Structure 1
């Protein structure tokens, strides 16, 4: 099993697509305001989300869920820089 994993990693590293940048979207929650509430948004408005602060976040490439994780402060970089610690990752060897 370990040998198969190494073979898959090696083939992925040599793929012509391995150097193509992608965008990962981190979803922290959703809000479903009424249209009238949307039209009344202004600075300092607060939109309640369907999640709690301690709930996991979801990571997407396009509309494909690729992982879940927890928000934390990055160990490197600027103070306050957000990062995501992955807690579960989908099997991406078969593609997105």
Structure 2
């Protein structure tokens, strides 16, 4: 099913479709030793387990709902970060 068909399937008459949710975007994780973390100060660099071109993960709570690529918006929103979705979980089917 393509994205347009999925969007058409959403029951927009339900009052729950107007409730905002918070989506967390994960760009990577770090696992420093506590002694290294305590030694960090301003301008310290904390390496992540991902590369710049790797996909980011989108979560609602602890549930992975999508993956995407970071990009910068243009026009009036120039400089603002956004995520272009590249893979979306089938939330209604629980997959």
Same-fold status (TM-score > 0.5)? yes
Gap regions ≥5 residues in structure 2: none
Q: Distance in 2 between matches of 1:37 and 1:49?
A: 14
Per mean C-alpha deviation after superposition, the further-off stretch among 59-68 and 37-46 is 37-46
Determine the structure 2 residue equivalent to 1:49: 48
Number of residue-to-residue matches in the alignment: 92
Query: What TM-score comes out, normalization by structure 2 length?
Result: 0.84
Deviation readout 1:54-90 (Å, 9 max, x if unpaired): 0000000000000000001113443211110000000
Deviation readout 1:40-62 (Å, 9 max, x if unpaired): 12110000000000000000000
Gap regions ≥5 residues in structure 1: none
Q: Distance in 2 between matches of 1:37 and 1:85?
A: 34
Determine the structure 1 residue equivalent to 2:90: 91
- Please give the residue correspondences for 1:17-96 in structure 2 after superposition, counting only pairs within 5 Å: 17-94=16-93
